[in-house]
Structure 1
Amino acid sequence: MKTEPDVFSIDDLMVAPHQTTCWDGVRNYQARNFMRDRMKLGDRVLIYHSNADPSCVVGIAEVCRLAYPDHSAWSPSDPHFDPKSTPQNPRWFMVDIRFESKFERRLVLSDLRKIRGLESMELLRKGSRLSVQPVSKKEFDIIVSQGNPQSIKAKSSTKRSQSSRRASP
């Protein structure tokens, strides 16, 4: 799952209430379908900081609530408002994720390209811009082994409000 760290970072997830947030604001049909149709409770997801210097995989979260309608699409004052989405006929969905661990070592995009076994990874394909992408178990395991995840239990705070948690689709 891609996020822009200046909007919402893994550190923000660590200090969110219960280390949990909704992954709202996804406005790409394919990314929405991955969340709605393929994500299951307990699925572990990689957190990727996009549009960062450098862009990198920074940790792991867990899906803790299955896809449900993204209410940010219904509010005209929200930047992700979509007048074609309604509570009766929702067009957009989100999942909730919970912080699991932060990598001791950030995995920079240029380094990921050099790791054997990741050659077919969606993230590494030219022009790949989806904010939610599938990752095979093999790819996930390779990345986790490289990142050396550390479980960190942070105190909850209200550092940020419920705003977009994703990169542009």
Structure 2
Amino acid sequence: MNYWLLKTEPGTYSWDDLLRDGRTFWDGVRNYQARNYMKEMKSGDLALYYHSVNEKRILGIARVVKESYQDPSTDDDRWVAVDIEPESTFEKPVTLADIKGNPALSNMVLVRNSRLSVQPVTKNEFDLIIEKSKN
């Protein structure tokens, strides 16, 4: 299993939207590196769901339920989408400040290259964030 972080602007598609819908496709990614990560996603992989802009916090975990396919928002075959479902909501959101304040998370892609909307997360990073969401 692989672990990921998906970034979204809450005004575009929030965690509450995903909970309401129960499933969605993750589309509109127009960065080659983020697209390549999406192509690596496998059904069953878990993704931290991160609200960017003003919130800058992880609210829950989504599960990949359909691997990459042609992005339905464009005819350009360079771009892909994946389907996700909500897995669980955090008891306590984990903020970017929480992450930056933890030396064990200093190498996260979120800290080093925060602009990527789809990024890998190590199992250790994933586990540390889950633990932080329970405190």
Structure 1 and Structure 2 fold alike (TM over 0.5): yes
SS where residue 124 of structure 1 aligns? helix
Matched residues in 1 for 2:102 and 2:57: separation?
14
Choose which of 94, 103, 110 in structure 1 pairs with 2:90: 103
- 1:49 corresponding residue in structure 2: 51
User: Which residue matches 1:70?
Assistant: 71
CA distance in 1, matches of 2:84, 2:28: 14
Which of 96, 119, 128 is residue 114 of structure 2 equivalent to? Answer: 128
Instruction: Give the C-alpha shift of residue 49 in structure 1.
Output: 0.2
- In 2, the alpha carbon distance for the partners of 1:98 and 1:60 equals 9
Whole-angstrom distance in 2 between the partners of 1:34 and 1:69 = 14
Aligned equivalent of 2:27, options 20, 24, 27:
24
Q: Which of these residues, 78, 82, 85, is aligned with residue 91 of structure 1?
A: 78
The alpha carbon displacement at 1:128 in A equals 2.7
Superposed structure 1 runs of 4+ greater than 6 Å apart: none
RCO comparison, higher one (Cα < 8 Å, 6+): 1
Aligned identity (percent) is 50
Which residue of structure 2 aligns with residue 11 of structure 1? 16
Q: Distance in 1 between matches of 2:127 and 2:114?
A: 21
Q: 1:115 and 1:12 mapped to 2: Cα distance?
A: 29
Q: Quote the residue 1:139 is aligned against.
A: 125
TM-score by length of 1: 0.74
**TM-score normalised over the length of structure 2:** 0.92
User: Residue 116 of structure 1: CA displacement?
Assistant: 3.6
CA distance in 1, matches of 2:125, 2:98: 14
Q: 1:128 & 1:42 partners in 2: Cα distance?
A: 24
- Opposite residue 25 of structure 1, the aligned amino acid is G
Q: Which of the pair is proportionally richer in strand? A: 2
Gaps of 5+ in 2: 1-5
| Superposition deviation, residue 73 in structure 1 | 1.0
CA distance in 2, matches of 1:25, 1:128: 17
Structure 1 SS opposite 2:116: coil
C-alpha separation in 2, matches of 1:102 and 1:147: 9
| 1:9-63 Cα deviation digits (max 9, x unpaired) | 11100010xx110001001010000001x211100000000012x3111110000
Q: Which amino acid aligns with 1:35?
A: M
CA distance in 2, matches of 1:11, 1:128: 22
For residues 23 and 103 of structure 2, what CA distance do their matches in structure 1 show? 33
Deviation at 1:108, TM superposition (A): 1.1
Q: Could you say what the CA RMSD is over the residues aligned between the two structures, in angstroms?
A: 1.3
